[in-house]
Amino acid sequence: MSDDPDLKALPPDGAQILDVRGFACPLPVLKTRKAIKSVDDGGLLLVVATDPAAPLDFEVYCHRAGNPLEEQWQKDDLFGFLIRKGGAAA
CB atoms near residue 83 (< 10 Å): 28
- What pTM was estimated for this model as a whole? 0.84
Which pLDDT belongs to residue 5? Answer: 46
Catalytic residue among 10, 25, 53, 69: 25
The reply to whether 62 belongs to the active site is no
Question: In this structure, which amino acid lies at residue 75?
Answer: K
What is the predicted pLDDT for the residue at 14? Answer: 80
Query: Do 44 and 86 meet the contact criterion of CB atoms below 8 Å apart?
Result: no
Residue 56 clears pLDDT 70, i.e. is over it: yes
Q: Which residue has the higher pLDDT, 47 or 6?
A: 47
Nearest CA to 57 out of 34, 47, 45 is that of 47
Q: pLDDT digit string (tens) for 12-39?
A: 778 899 999 999 999 999 999 999 999 9
pLDDT tens digits for range 60-90: 999 999 999 999 999 999 999 999 999 654 4
What pLDDT is stored for residue 87 in this prediction? 60
